[in-house]
Amino acid sequence: MRRVRAIHLLRAVSSIALSAMLLLLALYTIGREVWVSKVVENVLALANPSSMLAYLASAFLHTDLLVQVVSVIAVFATVWLARELARAMAPSTHFA
């Protein structure tokens, strides 16, 4: 039984680590390709949320294909990491 628990823990940790590494790699790549501080500065200069959303959509659509693909990967990795962390923190039900 101890081995089963160890394998289950290893599987959970490796999934969390893999999703975190994918997210960090995607964010690093975005940081290398985009001047992030200027994008944040321009977003914060806008007054209302709808214009912020329009700016971000326009910036995403008019950037390089690499940045678009890596941005989608970053969103996927964020959702995956959140899911894995929620599963790891959820109480597990053990049936006898």
- What confidence tens digit (pLDDT) does each residue in 3-62 have? 777 777 767 678 888 899 999 999 999 999 999 999 989 988 988 999 999 999 999 999
How much is the pLDDT for 95? 65
Q: What is the pTM of this model?
A: 0.76
How much is the pLDDT for 96? 58
Sketch the domain layout of the chain as residue ranges: 2-89
> Of 32, 33, 36, nearest to 64 (Cα)?
33
Give pLDDT tens digits for 46-92.
889 999 999 999 999 999 999 999 999 999 999 999 998 998 888 77
